[in-house]
Amino acid sequence: MSTKREHEDKTVFVAGGSSGINLGIALGFARAGARVGILSRNQEKIDAAVRAIKNVGSGAAVGFSADVRNPEEVKAALRSTYEAHGAIDVLVSGAAGNFPAMAQDLSPNGFKAVVDIDLLGSFNVLHGGFEFLRKPGASIINISAPQAINPMVAQIHVCAAKAGVDMLTRVLAMEWGPYGIRVNSIIPGPIDATEGMRRLAPTPEALAAVTDSVPLGRLGQVEDVAAAALMLSSRQAEFITGAVVPVDGGWSLGGDRVAAAAILAGLARANPSIRD
């Protein structure tokens, strides 16, 4: 088990840590005694998240406004966290953007926006973070998505980007293993009360259908994903690297087809030329 003691005094940096699943991960590590740094774009969200993280943990939390598409901003946030809290033991890359759009309705810039945030942004976080990581010993966790494994309509941008994120995981596990750095991906399933689910299953009916399609019979909670991140960063996982780990109640075994139907129904309401 990963105990409170084990993560005490670690430095944890979470890119995209100001809301949702990533904030849940930051809170999970803070509760376990870690010092935390986060980045996202919106200063108000950052300030609120830093207050929440300080409240549950040791009080050591810092936050920075940066766009993951800008490598200099990302590096500055990582450097400032290193200077405030010391070498980074756990680096989480989870900033992402998503909206449903059929390929023919998606502009090249819309495709690029998501690929730039999810894939290039993850590269910027990992590449920029390398020099500040504890070597040996650091654990990197990329937040992927079911779209990385299973194709989903109206998600061509996210499918391409998140499949790329899992390849960052695998390649860096090979390149950085010799430094004693482990690199893994977590694939969250449908997680309750998150922006991602609000965008993909925006009605109560769609959310109910998605919930019914989860083999374990419920939506995930942000705490489920946080628990997996703590486990993957613990001594119990010290021989696990390059793994892509679903934390999804079995959903990626096929339930995400229901999400595709929900997305299509939502798009068809706005544009009758799209058949649901």
Tell me the three state secondary structure of residue 87: coil
Backbone phi and psi for residue 65, each to the nearest 5 degrees, phi listed first: -85, 120
| Alpha-carbon torsion (6, 12, 16, 20), positive or negative | positive
How far is the C-alpha of 37 from the C-alpha of 74, rounded, in Å?
12
> What is the x/- site pattern for ligand NAP, positions 16-35, by CB under 6 A?
x-xxxxx-------------
Select from ligand NAP, ligand COA, none the partner in contact with residue 107, using the beta carbon and a kind-dependent cut-off of 5 to 8 Å.
ligand COA
- Angle CA 180–227–81, to nearest 5: 55
Query: Quick check: 195 binds ligand COA (CB under 6 A)?
Result: yes
* One-letter identity of residue 83: E
How far is the C-alpha of 200 from the C-alpha of 92, rounded, in Å?
23
How far is the C-alpha of 77 from the C-alpha of 265, rounded, in Å?
40
Nearest to 97 by CA among 24, 196, 25, 220: 196
Select from ligand NAP, ligand COA, none the partner in contact with residue 197, using the beta carbon and a kind-dependent cut-off of 5 to 8 Å.
ligand NAP
Strand pairing partners for 14?
Answer: 38, 92
How many CB atoms lie under 10 A from the CB of residue 45? 17
Nearest to 96 by CA among 146, 29, 62, 132: 146
Strand pairing partners for 247?
Answer: 188
The closest residue (CB) to ligand COA is 97
Select from ligand COA, ligand NAP, none the partner in contact with residue 94, using the beta carbon and a kind-dependent cut-off of 5 to 8 Å.
ligand NAP
Query: Quick check: 77 binds ligand NAP (CB under 6 A)?
Result: no
- Compare residues 134 and 140 and give the one whose CB is closer to ligand NAP: 140
> What is the x/- site pattern for ligand COA, positions 111-130, by CB under 6 A?
--xx----------------
* Strand residues in the chain grouped as ranges (E): 11-15, 35-40, 61-65, 90-93, 139-143, 182-188, 244-247
> What is the x/- site pattern for ligand COA, positions 123-162, by CB under 6 A?
----------------------------------------
Stretch in the footprint of ligand NAP (CB under 6 A) among 61-69, 124-132, 233-241, 265-273:
61-69
Query: Quick check: 96 binds ligand COA (CB under 6 A)?
Result: yes
Select from ligand NAP, ligand COA, none the partner in contact with residue 106, using the beta carbon and a kind-dependent cut-off of 5 to 8 Å.
ligand COA
Query: Quick check: 188 binds ligand NAP (CB under 6 A)?
Result: yes
- Compare residues 71 and 137 and give the one whose CB is closer to ligand NAP: 71
Query: Quick check: 69 binds ligand NAP (CB under 6 A)?
Result: yes
For residue 120, the 8-state DSSP code is: I
Select from ligand NAP, ligand COA, none the partner in contact with residue 19, using the beta carbon and a kind-dependent cut-off of 5 to 8 Å.
ligand NAP
List residues binding ligand NAP (CB under 6 A). 16, 18-22, 40-42, 45, 67-69, 94-97, 117, 121, 143, 145, 188, 190-191, 194-197
The residues of the shown chain that bind ligand COA, judged by CB under 6 A, are: 96-99, 101, 106-107, 109-110, 113-114, 195-196, 199
